[in-house]
Structure 1
Amino acid sequence: MSVELPRDAEGREIPLDTVVLFSRSGEAHNIVRWIYTTDFETWTESNMWRAIAENHRALDPELMYLTPPDSWEKLEDDLGKIANNPGEVVCAYFGREISDCDGCKLESCECACSNAYLRDVIERIRKLRGEDE
């Protein structure tokens, strides 16, 4: 029998050395251990991962996030960065130094950075409104 790694609410594999998971509201939960249930345990569903938090709560990893989920407040903060750096809108939005393209999210994009930035804002808005679910 092969056991796959647990996945988060966005479908990303969660490494078993992960020590913090985030709830939908962005609350951090410190993880102290992982448990994989088997067919022999009658107190829970079988063949499932559970993250055990430091408060001894068992968390369903599929309802948790590896990184804090996006929010309207985070989008507002990211857009607010532009007001403080009007010379370079895209770099400011992504929290990067001007023209520091090495490792940037848009580095492999074949379109203009400004187009990719606007697409990112639109995609975040749609996700936050629940349109892409």
Structure 2
Amino acid sequence: MIVELPKDAKGREIPLDTEVLYDKEGKLREVDWYTYYPDKDRWDVVFEDSCVRFSPNNLSLTPPDSWKKLEDDLGKIANNPGEVVCAYFGREISDCDGCKLESCECACSNAYLIDVIERIRKLRGED
């Protein structure tokens, strides 16, 4: 029998040594333990401050996006007179290795604007 690792809200595998996860409100939660139910093929997570079991698909490995985070990311551009796209993604200028846009088939500036628009739509609840 092959048991897959639990997955977060974005479908990313959660390693079982992960000690903190984020709930839907963006609150950092400390993991107490993970439980797997083979008869239901389901994982649950229990946090140190709660005895309630949470489904991993309602949690996230990274904090959720927010208006503040978007504002901070756009602020990186204002504080960096160099390449706009690299500053936004927190990268060194033209250090494309491992960049989110590395496999993008359009210009970086187009992908950057698409990313900002998608984040705004998600934050407004349109997605």
After superposition, the C-alpha distances for 1:46-103 in whole angstroms (9 at most, x for unaligned) are 5431112122432221211111111111011100111101321101100111111121
Determine the C-alpha separation between the residues in 1 that align with 2:31 and 2:124.
30
Aligned length: 126
Larger radius of gyration: 1
Task: Report the more deviating stretch, 29-38 or 79-88.
Answer: 29-38
Residue in 2 that maps onto 1:14: 14
Determine the C-alpha separation between the residues in 2 that align with 1:106 and 1:47.
35
Residue in 2 that maps onto 1:80: 75
Does structure 1 residue 65 correspond to structure 2 residue 60?
Answer: yes
After superposition, the C-alpha distances for 1:85-132 in whole angstroms (9 at most, x for unaligned) are 132110110011111112111112122110110011111111112222
Q: RMSD in angstroms over aligned alpha carbons? A: 1.8
Percent sequence identity is 70
Gaps of 5+ in 2: none
Does structure 1 residue 49 correspond to structure 2 residue 57?
Answer: no
TM-score, normalisation: structure 1: 0.83
